[in-house]
Amino acid sequence: MRNRLKIERAILNLTQEELAHKIGVSRQTISSIEKNRYVPSTVLSLKLSILFQKPVNEFFELDDTEISEVKK
């Protein structure tokens, strides 16, 4: 899964620490999501969606392999 979290965070001019504080997680969690090491839960994704004022699939998207798995 790919994500645009870093870009969306930059648009809002937020640091990892500030974003983490706003959605109630640690800075470590934001860093892991940005590096694609951790896929967040639905609840966390929806919190980000409220903060960025965008639907979840605008900043989280499946990669080509995952899409082809669904289309099989």
Partner 1 sequence: MDLKSILECERKSLEKLKRYQLPNSFKKVGVGIILISVVSIIGIKLSIDTPNLKKAAMYGVLLGLLVISISKEKIEDELITNLRMQSYALAFIAGVLITLTNPLFSYIASSLFDKQLEHFNGMGDWQILWILLSIQVFYFELLKRFNK
44 binds partner 1 (CB under 8 A): yes
- Could you tell me which stretch among 9-17, 28-36, 50-58, 59-67 binds partner 1 (CB under 8 A)? 28-36
Phi first, then psi: what are they for 51, rounded to 5°?
-65, -45
Binding partner 1 (rule: CB under 8 A), the pick from 41, 65, 71, 72 is 41
32 binds partner 1 (CB under 8 A): yes
Using the structure block, give the residue that is written with the tokens 């499946």.
62
Q: How far is it, in rounded angstroms, from Cα 60 to Cα 46?
A: 11
Using the structure block, give the residue that is written with the tokens 């934001």.
30
Q: How far is it, in rounded angstroms, from Cα 63 to Cα 48?
A: 20
> Shortest gap between Cβ of 13 and partner 1 (angstroms)?
23
Which residues of this chain interact with partner 1, rule CB under 8 A?
A: 24-26, 28-29, 31-32, 37-38, 40-41, 43-44
